[in-house]
Amino acid sequence: MKKLKICLISLTVSPDSADGEAKVVRALFEYLKQQGHHVKLITGKWNKDLEDPDIIQFNLIRKRFFWVLHFYYKVIKFLRTNSFDIIHANSAKAALPIILSKRKKFLCTIHDFTPFETELTTIPIERLLIKYVSKRASIITTVSNFVKREFQHYIPRIDKKKIVTIYNGIEKKYKPYPLEAQRLKEKLNIQGPVLLYIGRITPYKGVNHIIEAYKIVKNEIPNLNLVIGGKPDYLMEKEYKYWKEVHNDVYFMGYLPEDEVPFYFSMGDIFLTYSSSSEGFGLTPLEAISCGTPVICSSILVYREILRDNALFVPPKEPIKLAEKIKILLKDDELRNNLVKNAQKYIKKYSWNTVGKRLENEYLRFLNYTD
């Protein structure tokens, strides 16, 4: 394949930020570089300097809304003074400066339809932005067929031929780390089985129901532990603080460094993810399985698509039913082992080697290559 000049644009990039989109775009950047492409990744600088000459981090004004305008100004200026074969935005927000720089052709990844499905804000600007960018993009990549189908509901007039599903990939670092997991348990002074949640703490993630289910199971299994990794968003800060005050038997770890996350996954006896809506993919349960930890998750459509029969499913917002599934899985070693063992072949479809080649094919389609 011809080596391309590629510009990736994302508001956040791992490990400067810990959200799923930041992790995915960083892994994509690394994959494309390994294939010999000339890649620049444009992003904001939020917490740390990534010290990579091909990742351009813009220092931004740290005031609400002002940082958006500042980021857009710098991206527009960069795009007007540099040329690329491919410009690929990691979200609708990241795509707007491409349009404002008068670039007519670009790709955009739509990860989910959160602004349409949740009441995180009463301002409809994000919904309008997704609609506008989706109509202007040359190719739209989605991370699941579930998200692809949602276009028919939220943006029904869009040209469906330009929408393609390319699943997110699992990084190679996600594998079992038994020694590191044991050291981590000793460091945290944990004895007994471990329930684990890692992810953003926002209302629709169902962390409150995970805590409730844990309390139910702990009445029967007293040495049970619950470890929660991740930071709350602004809507959950007060509730999160309250949880820490009243649930002193729960390990609230806050932000987890990226290089330690596989150790936490390996430490868990069960990984729980219990969203009630607005998921575009399901990366953390796949990472948990890759680290040898079985998964219980909500029965929302996207999790069923991504995980198939390689997890146990529970209807969302039903902590009593979640507790029952936890008890079943904790008491059945054979079921736990089979879930992980049977999933190993299945999750190969989410390797970056597989996922990355599909995206490269879309880049060729974008350029109207015939060979």
pTM: 0.92
Q: Report the distance separating Cα 30 and Cα 255, nearest Å.
A: 23
The pLDDT tens digits for 288-315 are 999 999 999 999 999 999 999 999 999 9
The pLDDT tens digits for 31-70 are 999 999 999 999 999 889 999 999 999 988 777 667 888 9
Cβ atoms of 271 and 293 within 8 Å: the answer is yes
Report the pLDDT value the prediction gives residue 120, as an integer from 0 to 100. 57
Report the pLDDT value the prediction gives residue 370, as an integer from 0 to 100. 41
Distance of CA 367 to the CA centre of its chain: 28
Q: The tokens of 158 are what?
A: 């869009």
The residue type found at 293 is T
Alpha helices in 13-113 (DSSP H): 20-34, 66-80, 92-100
Q: Are strands 194-198 and 163-165 parallel, antiparallel or unpaired?
A: unpaired
Residue linked to tokens 């949740």: 118
User: Is residue 67 left, alpha or beta, with left meaning phi > 0 and alpha meaning psi from -120 to 50?
Assistant: alpha
Q: Report the distance separating Cα 299 and Cα 317, nearest Å.
A: 10
Q: Report the distance separating Cα 108 and Cα 111, nearest Å.
A: 10
Residues in the chain predicted with pLDDT less than 70, given as ranges, are 64-65, 119-123, 369-371
Q: The tokens of 140 are what?
A: 């739209």
Q: Could you tell me the domains of the chain?
A: 5-169+351-366 (3.40.50.2000), 178-349 (3.40.50.2000)
Report the pLDDT value the prediction gives residue 56, as an integer from 0 to 100. 97
The residue type found at 108 is C
Report the pLDDT value the prediction gives residue 62, as an integer from 0 to 100. 73
